[in-house]
Structure 1
């Protein structure tokens, strides 16, 4: 698919370290700005409590779920609280398959072409290039050239408003924002300001592309 016809990239907010007491205020600021997914890494305080709160409050408008999922038992717990998104730092075919069986969208982490195709063989249609900063946009461009049509790649790790244009030109389908968006203790207003900066950078790059095509 050419960049001219590529849909707008999706954005997943990674709220590592957030507490259940804080999560709804921060999430409200993100959902109101059109952020399409919220990930609570499982090394956060009481992560499944936060995920359940998110799903109840915003599940109709945003894909809510868990990050750093590496074990089957964690997949079952995610399903029990209603989570619909599973993000992993690695590719574990059993985890991917079980998520799909439970109606949860898996997004396993990959680096090489071999890992990407292993994730696809397990059933994943979205994969996470991680850590994106160490692979870089040129790596993504080469990887996208051999992936099947319809497979989406999300860049995670070191992504911020300063390098949006580089990733967009490489053909990225989505962005996962971690510490560039949220750090423990930040307020909803602070997170909103960072989200606005990132979304503005995406919009500005899209306008530049349209101007070049005109």
Structure 2
């Protein structure tokens, strides 16, 4: 595995500061570096490319080769140890799973990078924490809403909960106000068709900026 040039805590610090990370789930990503730059210009410095995108290892490698200082790159929908290792080799600085995946957590721990592990129920949240998750991705968040996140915070006040799935500019602030460590933004900022078409960096930058503005406005 390649050495990681970024301390694992830097990723969490960036997510904590921005309180948002972008999840790119598209059939293709023509220019990963330009996409990441557009998101960063819009105020979202942490980007997750998912294994549902064909050839995602190449996408990660291209983005990593041109990664700006202060920005961070991760792999999502990581289901197996082999996928975890491939993502890290390609330059991923963090891993995200959609469910409890102990083998992925082990690979991340050996590499010294954080894993955001998917969970929904209290039992799953506790298991994710016990497996060493740096944060717990609550999915599907919009199905249960911000108040469900607040309820989870009761027994798990120290867990970093990151809602994902259906989070948009209209509900992101509510999740944050009720205890989310950060939120995941997806199609609201990086629509799959727009990403796949390429050449839409200006629009994606504007979408990111609009999301951040609504998320943080008083």
What's the TM-score, normalizing by structure 1? 0.86
1:172 is matched with which residue: 153, 174, 180? 180
2:107: which partner in 1? 98
1:198 deviates by 0.7
Matched, 1:38 2:47: yes
1:8 deviates by 4.7
In structure 2, what is the Cα distance between the partners aligned to 1:191 and 1:138? Answer: 29
Matched, 1:135 2:144: yes
1:155: which partner in 2? 163
- Number of equivalent positions: 198
Unaligned runs of 5+ residues in structure 2 are 1-15, 195-199
Encode CA deviations 1:121-175: one digit per residue, 9 max, x unaligned. Answer: 11112110101011211110011121152x3111111111111232122111111
1:9 deviates by 5.0
2:116: which partner in 1? 107
In structure 1, what is the Cα distance between the partners aligned to 2:39 and 2:48? Answer: 12
1:199: which partner in 2? 212
CA contact (8 A) 2:173 2:216 kept: no
Q: Report the structure number with the largest CA radius of gyration.
A: 1
Matched, 1:181 2:194: no
Higher relative contact order (Cα pairs below 8 Å, separated by 6+ residues): 2
Matched, 1:63 2:75: no
CA contact (8 A) 1:12 1:37 kept: yes
1:84: which partner in 2? 93
1:25 is matched with which residue: 24, 31, 34? 34
1:211: which partner in 2? none
